[in-house]
Homo-oligomer: A and B are copies of this chain.
Amino acid sequence: MAEHPIDCELCSGDGGEVLHRAEKFRVVLVDDAAYPGFCRVIWNNHVKEMTDLPIADRSALMAAVCKVESIVRAVMQPEKINLASLGNMTPHLHWHVIPRYLDDAQFPSPVWAAAERQTPPSSLAQRQALLGALRSAMVAQF
């Protein structure tokens, strides 16, 4: 497998607004109107599974995921954090860090399930208003 396959969208692009760029990974803000504050931690090299990484790299990646979780919790004040590494469509290692709320579209189901409701626009606006603080916190704390 080439290190950067030409047809991989996480090799050819950043995959979102970059909040922090490290040597081996980057943290991006996902553009999802239903989930303000949804971040991803994306490994820079094209690797498929966590266990394809050397152990030191797994640790570095999970430390980054946990740092993002901490920052998202502090700024976004979610009911729950959801973490996931799936990659069925884009088999390039990336972690979803998703702030969840009692009134969000899918709660308590995963965000990939059918919507149970529409999130109240006032809740979404409140969360959107925190994104500036989220960007600042990522810069300050990474």
| Complex: A91 Cα to B65 Cα, angstroms | 19
A71-103 CB contacts (< 8 Å) to partner B: 73, 79-89, 91, 100
Q: Is the CB of B80 within 8 A of A87?
A: yes
A114 contact from B48, B51, B91, B114, Cβ within 8 A: B114
A88: B residues at CB distance < 8 A: 79-80, 82, 100, 107-110
| CB-based contact A69/B89 at 8 Å | no
A70 CA to B108 CA, complexed, in Å: 30
A62 at the interface (CB under 8 A from B): yes
B82 touches A85 (CB 8 A): yes
Q: Are B91 and A80 closer than 8 Å at their CB atoms?
A: yes
For residue A61, which residue of chain B has the nearest CB? B62
Is A59 in contact with chain B by the CB < 8 A criterion?
yes
A66 touches which one: B58, B65, B91, B113 (CB < 8 A)?
A: B58
Nearest neighbor of A80 in chain B, beta-carbon distance: B88
A17 to B120, CA, bound (A): 41
Cross-chain contact A80 with B112 (CB below 8 angstroms): no
Contact for A80 among B48, B65, B113, CB less than 8 A: B48
Contact surface of A with B, Cβ cutoff 8 Å: 48-51, 55, 58-59, 62, 65-66, 69-70, 73, 79-89, 91, 100, 107-110, 112-114
